[in-house]
Amino acid sequence: MTEAAIAVNELSVRFGLATAVDNVSFSVASGESFGLVGESGSGKTTVLRVLAGLIGHWTGRAQVGGHALGAKRPKALARVVQLVFQDPYASLHPLHTVDRVLSEVATIHGLANAQKRIVGTLQAVGLGPEFRFRFPHQLSGGQRQRVAIARALILEPSILLLDEPTSALDVSVQAEILNLLRRLRAERGLTLLLVSHNLAVVANLCDRVAVMRLGRLVEQADVERLRTSTPEHAYTRQLLAASRGYDRAAAEIEEQASPA
């Protein structure tokens, strides 16, 4: 196995009295595509935000692209790991044009050839030059998410964190964005860490899956194994059943999974 791109050891995060993430450990190999699934409130997004440096108070050890994470986030880390947010309607500044969003990143990091890079990155995410000077309100949801992906990619990070990148989009656009991410991963050799509540999306994009519930990691498995055999943990079985659409059987598995 190559050196781990992401290694998380005994990570715990508390918000007041509530424990959002409880003693979670996992690692993602370089170039691997790893999925983190679970229901709302399972702590999966919190793990992602810790890795992106958005949450400061956590315990345990975490290492991203060879950098150990501390309380403060060095600027250089932004060039190694980037995050794409869930809601493209909220993650773009309403008064900044696409051009401004991208050129600001270039300015912060003093990138050479900023103009060329902006055009090139827009092209890589499937946006032509006509989108460059538009404001977010002049873009559709899928186009906005492409801009958000472009913002993450202009720094050419090796690791991309994805926080439910498709859940705010309608179904046909979801497929487009997933195809885009798969292509970008192949072209750039990206390591992906995808968070989703949708097992189908994860199975589409990822090699390996970890299942989280109530802040704990309950199971890790290869996607292939999920497809072919029955998962060990009852909760994973339930998620799998739920991804095939609602039926009574899924609700019955829930009764077995919940101890109370």
Tell whether residue 155 is a contact of another protein (CB under 8 A): yes
Contacts of 160 (CB under 8 A, 6+ apart): 81, 82, 83, 84, 152, 153, 184, 185, 190, 191, 192, 193
| 162-221 positions binding another protein, by CB under 8 A | none
Q: Provide the b/e sequence for 19-37 (b: ≥16 CB within 10 Å).
A: ebbbebebebbbebbbbbb
In the bound complex, what is the minimum distance in angstroms from residue 53's beta carbon to another protein?
7
In the bound complex, what is the minimum distance in angstroms from residue 63's beta carbon to another protein?
18
Instruction: Please identify, using beta-carbon distances, which residue of 61 and 137 lies nearer to another protein.
Output: 137
Find the part of the chain contacting another protein (CB under 8 A) among 103-111, 185-193, 202-210, 250-258: 103-111
DSSP 6: E
Instruction: Tell me the C-alpha distance between 207 and 203, whole Å.
Output: 7
Instruction: Please identify, using beta-carbon distances, which residue of 81 and 218 lies nearer to another protein.
Output: 81
Contacts of 59 (CB under 8 A, 6+ apart): 10, 11, 12, 13
Please report, as a single letter, which amino acid is at residue 137: H
| 27-56 positions binding another protein, by CB under 8 A | 52-54
Contact 203, 223 (CB under 8 A): yes
Of the candidates 206, 228, 227, 210, the residue with the CA atom closest to the CA atom of residue 219: 210
Residues 58-87: x/- map of binding to another protein (CB under 8 A)?
-----------------x-xx---xx-xxx
Contact 157, 62 (CB under 8 A): no
Which of 1, 17, 71, 95 is in the footprint of another protein by CB under 8 A? Answer: 95
Find the part of the chain contacting another protein (CB under 8 A) among 37-45, 93-101, 185-193, 201-209: 93-101
Instruction: Please identify, using beta-carbon distances, which residue of 195 and 217 lies nearer to another protein.
Output: 195
Instruction: Please identify, using beta-carbon distances, which residue of 44 and 208 lies nearer to another protein.
Output: 44
Residues engaged in binding another protein (CB under 8 A): 52-54, 75, 77-78, 82-83, 85-87, 90-97, 99-100, 104-105, 108-109, 130-131, 133-135, 137-138, 148, 151-152, 155
